[in-house]
Structures are given as C-alpha cells and as structure tokens.
Amino acid sequence: MKIKYAIILVLVVIVIGAGIGLKMFFKPHADVSKLKAEFKVEATALIGEFEQDENAATDKYSEKVLEISGKLVVKNKLSNGTDLLILEDEMQGISCQLDSSWSAANQETIEALEGGNPVTVKGICKGYLMEIKVSPAIVVK
C-alpha cells in the first residue's frame, strides 16, 4: 500500500515539475499595455539624467517600465514594419519602438499622432546608445 502512495506522489511531483518547466519555456513576452509604470518622467528630465551620468541612469532605468511624457518630433516606420516614435530630439532624444501587436490594434491612434504635439508613451527602457532606447512601447495618450 505504502509503495502505491509513494509512486503516486512521485508521479504528481513529475507532472507538476513538467508543468512548471513548460510554462516557463512558453512564457510569453511581457505585455507592456498591462504593466504598471515604475517611473513616470518628463522626457527632458530623463534625457538630462542619462546625459549627466549614463551608468547611474542605466542602473536605475534599464529593463524598467517607464511612462514618459514629451514632445513628439519624429513618427516613422522601420523597414521591418515597426512603428518608431522619437521624442524631443531627432538624434539624441528618446527612441520608442512600438509593440507590434499593440500597433496593429491601434493604427488609428498612431495615425492621429502629429510631430510637435505632446505625447505620453509607456515602455521598457533598454538603456542609452546615443539616444534613450525604449522598446516595446505603447502610446498612452
């Protein structure tokens, strides 16, 4: 009788283990639209922080969800179809690559965006390389 229970126990452990393993393996990418922003910042202030001390700002913001408000200067499409928004400065501003599934579902919002207008985006900060890289991102307003 005891052996029977032991076998059942081992089988249960294996099934749970396999389940967790498969779940981890097939874990989907983070859905930015559902994530809560850890920092809410003004675009110019964020650029200032990276310009002043790149390493400290990278430690603080890299891989974190940011909500950034600033002036839209460029709206573009990359050759792979990704929508690209640049805030504040074309060369040294904040480059946001929009989440492809969010983009597909919100084409009207993207089309309505105009250069020179204020915009608020939410996305994962990837660090600094000439400009601040944020991807994937979505438009909040």
Partner 1 sequence: MEIFIWDSIFPEFLRSIKINAMLKKLFILVLLVASVGAFGQGKFIAKNAYISFYSSTPMEDILGESNEAVTIMNAETGEIGFQALMTTFHFKRALMEEHFNENYMESAKFPKARFNGKIEGFSKDMLNAPVADIKITGKLNVHGVEKTITVPGTLGLENGQLVGTSKFKVTPENYGIAIPSLVRDKIGKEMEITVKATYLPFGQ
The footprint of partner 1 (CB under 8 A) covers 24-30, 58-59, 62-63, 78-80, 82, 84, 90-92, 95, 97, 126-131, 133, 135
What's the one-letter identity of residue 138?
A: I
Among 107, 132, 114, 104, residue whose Cα is nearest residue 48: 132
Question: Which is closer to partner 1, CB of 6 or CB of 38?
Answer: 38
Closer by beta carbon to partner 1, 37 or else 74:
74
CB nearer to partner 1: pick between 110 and 127: 127
Cis ω on the peptide bond leading into residue 28 (within 30° of 0)? Answer: no
Q: Least distance in Å: CB of 24 to partner 1? A: 6
Min dist. Cβ of residue 48 to partner 1 (A): 14
Report the nearest approach of partner 1 to the CB of residue 50 (Å). Answer: 12
* Residues belonging to the chain: 141
b/e per residue 69-99 (b: at least 16 CB within 10 A): bbbbbebeeeeeeebebbbbbeeebbbbbbb
In the bound state with partner 1, the residue whose beta carbon lies nearer, of 2 and 55, is: 55
To partner 1, the closest distance from the beta carbon of 43 in angstroms equals 17
